[in-house]
Amino acid sequence: MNDSRTVYLDHAATTPMTGVALESMTAHLREVGNASSLHASGRRARRVVEESRETVAQALGCRPAEVVFTSGGTEADNLAVKGLYWSRRDADPRRTRILASSVEHHAVLDALAWLEEHEGAGVELIPVDEQGRLDVSALATAIERDPESVALVTVMWANNEVGTLQPIPDVVAAARPHAIPVHTDAVQAVGATPVDFAASGVDALSLSGHKVGGPQGVGALVVRREVELAALVHGGGQERDVRSGTLDVPAIAGFAAAVELAVKQQSEHAARLTMLRDDLVDAVRRAVPDAVLNGDPVDRLPGNAHLSFPGCEGDSLLMLLDARGIECSTGSACSAGVPQPSHVLLAMGRTGDEARSSLRFSLGHTSTAADVEAVAEAIGPCVERARAARA
Residue 270 and residue 355 in one domain? yes
Classify residue 134 by its DSSP letter.
B
* Distance, CA of 36 to CA of 249 (rounded, Å): 11
Rounded mean pLDDT, 342-363: 96
What is the dihedral angle through the alpha carbons of 234, 79, 76, 104, rounded to the nearest 10 degrees? 150
Q: Are residues 206 and 83 in the same domain?
A: yes
The mean pLDDT value for 115-123 works out to: 98
Beta strands 97-101; 122-126: pairing state: parallel
Q: Which residue, 239, 264, 289, sits at the end of a domain?
A: 264
Residue 141: CB atoms within 10 Å: 12
| Average pLDDT of the chain to the nearest whole number | 95
The answer to whether residue 287 is domain-embedded is: yes
Across 95-113, average pLDDT: 98
Residue 333, pLDDT > 60, answer: no
The stretch 158-171 carries a mean pLDDT of 98
User: Does 217 share its domain with 326?
Assistant: no
Q: What is the pLDDT of residue 12?
A: 96
pLDDT at 336 over 90: no
Find the angle CA(101)-CA(341)-CA(155) to the nearest 5 degrees: 10
| Rounded distance between C-alpha atoms, residue 105 and residue 232, angstroms | 19
- Asked whether residue 1 is domain-assigned, the answer is no
Confidence of residue 3 (pLDDT cuts 50, 70, 90): very low
Does residue 160 sit in the same domain as residue 58?
Answer: yes
**End-of-domain residue from the set 200, 233, 264:** 264
Residue 335 has pLDDT above 80, yes or no: no
Taking residues 181-205, what's their average pLDDT?
A: 98
Residues 222, 65: Cα–Cα separation, whole Å: 9
HSE-CB at 247 with a 13 A cutoff on CA atoms is 32
Tell me, yes or no, whether 115 lies in a domain: yes
Distance CA 313, CA 70 (A): 37
Per-residue pLDDT for 337 more than 70?
no
Task: Give residue-wise pLDDT tens across range 12-60.
Answer: 999 999 999 999 999 999 999 999 999 999 999 999 999 999 999 999 9
Task: Assess whether 232 and 289 both reside in one domain.
Answer: no
Q: Tell me, yes or no, whether 346 lies in a domain.
A: yes
- pLDDT score at 114: 98
What is the four-CA torsion angle of 380, 381, 382, 388, rounded to 10 degrees?
110
Q: What CATH number does residue 215 fall under?
A: 3.40.640.10
Clarify whether residues 244 and 379 are in a common domain.
no
Tell me: the pLDDT tens digits for 242-295? Answer: 999 999 999 999 999 999 999 999 999 999 999 999 999 999 999 999 999 999
Q: Are residues 251 and 289 in the same domain?
A: no
Q: List residues with catalytic annotation.
A: 334
Instruction: Name which of 4, 3, 20 is nearest 365 in CA terms.
Output: 20
Judge whether 285 lies within some domain.
yes
Domain that holds residue 232: 19-264
Establish if 150 belongs to a structural domain: yes
Q: What is the pTM of this model?
A: 0.96
Q: Answer yes or no: do 234 and 304 share one domain.
A: no
pLDDT at 2 over 60: no
Residue 321 to residue 101: CA distance in whole angstroms = 32
Whole-angstrom distance, CA of residue 303 vs CA of residue 87: 37
